Structure 1
């Protein structure tokens, strides 16, 4: 029976965790801080739970230099739950901002009371019907699912797929066309799309944005001068530097680079979190034919309750905090740039061998958008016997979790933070040996 040290796991998620964190967790599960009870047993309302939340937030803020005008939320329902939460919360915020403008401008004419309310509603209804647009950049399976969920919630007429990368790659994902080909909703007189959404790293398809899209930059650097950008960073979270100020919302499931399955982390600009009493009312949204968020996905409610509106799995938050605290201690003033150097080095090592033996291996995505986190390739042109032989040989060497996603097949080596440099080197040696044996 192999020991943990004999195995290197490259699964796409749940992903490996640092052994040191798991060793600490085994103790905390039995007796947390010598209290005689385990970490899974403490109340989420306890002082200990609040300390864990505060410490985890502090570590993430340190790593990513999260500005003070952002809130860090811990939620449940995974990244897929945030596909819905993004729509609920951003649309409600859009309606409320438009309502305030309409009320202010229409009141100038002297209209008041019930007639003002009717006029405001009529204007809002027209603006929702004609102007509400949510822009999606579809570059892989997850952004596609997010766009489909948005269409399900608010109706397809409100969704603008500004980019479908399959159209420039023979019906398959694997490229990101030039920004000049994107069809973003125009911004006229300061009014543009309610949001622009993209998935920074597509886990299934091995596609990663090399940098923040230039066309989404705010001309002045102000949050009021440019589109509200939402990014799903589930599979490259805390693996490279991110300028948080460029985004309205960043979210990600924890089970890739941050922790174990159970929590989702969202970094939300506070201007998107007004008190619930100032948000578009439930009745107004319904009258406008728009969806109302379940309370457990309502960001203002979660923020107001310190992420503890319902029973949060504190053990999962603690795991994430331990992982991030380890990065803070390891990289010091480099912060997340230190981890980025390691991630880039591991990816370069593996891609280098794949490119060296291009007669045996075919990297799936275009070179300009290759993911550092999910390295997708085919063996022997995708022949089943070749790929099965590759996977069998890898398993014998303790290299596990390399089978591609069921929807696309092939091989996928997920190069998350907890995959050691030693593991990447061992995979590279196997790639060499297998290729030479063909």
Structure 2
């Protein structure tokens, strides 16, 4: 009987991709995700916020309580930067980000099994943690930015490591051949893809666009300074590119953006939005905002609220500023108290909900190409090229052309995110 391994994942899409890759490397074990009973647990950690680290420690204690004789390996960004802290917690093995490529060796050592699997230069996948229709594909690691609040760059490094185009193409074709219809290209900062290969993200996308099959590409998070006219032209002229970008804003105040060491102004951000919507008014944007960055005053906060209203984001992810060890922002003066951060976070979340409602209401009566992800007896659901969620009457599969007839929530009076009620016509 195969020994059981359970993988828990915290954090970003890149971590989710790497968890899937590790699972596939452990082909001689019975591997599952987020299962409470196993011979060995792998916890793929995140260090973006102190809350992510707190939740990991909480999970560790729960798993150890349920499985006192099981082994626990912790990997990822948290373990890369705070290995001793996690060893003191009681982890059986603490490994860094790069050691994920040799996960078979560490699992075999903990379970007293022979290894015999050579580490790969690049992690790859043939399947998806997301299900049967949508898959993540990691294309690069590392970031050249020096954002004053970010601890991930300390864990992942400032050296860009891009997966060669030929390898990306083979992995991409493999996923499409297995039925995946939406491939999400992800990394730590995919805007820097190709920096080390005398290539670029645009060159990669042009090559992928030549591949046969019925599929769609969605890009992971991008910084505004990495979005130029060439990239936007490619996205808005290719029928296979999702007309949606997760474009990180972080603050609507130029003063705070400078303190964050971001490489753009609010006006430059808005120009990128306007360029995309000049080609397609439905072009959708999602974003991240930090509430309560050191030195942020009421005027700065109002500027962020103003940009949310102006852009009409499809979704706004709000994070309360978290002091991360080793970052410049952790030592800045004028730290914001938790009550103010909480209040500003709430206001940004509410502004994001209003923004989502406005954007989706503009879609009523329009057609969209929906990739079905779940099919039930009476209803199917999925996401369109703008990343808007749809519920469609009837059982459907693959891509369907649907007309949006209304905007609804999961249940009356619910705070759940709004979605499109659509019909196939």
Q: Which category of TM-score, normalised to the shorter sequence, fits these structures?
A: under 0.3
Which entry has the higher C-alpha Rg, 1 or 2? 1
Between Structure 1 and Structure 2, which shows a larger proportion of strand residues? 2
Higher relative contact order (CA 8 A, sep 6+): 1
**TM-score, structure 2 normalization:** 0.28
Between Structure 1 and Structure 2, which shows a larger proportion of helix residues? 1
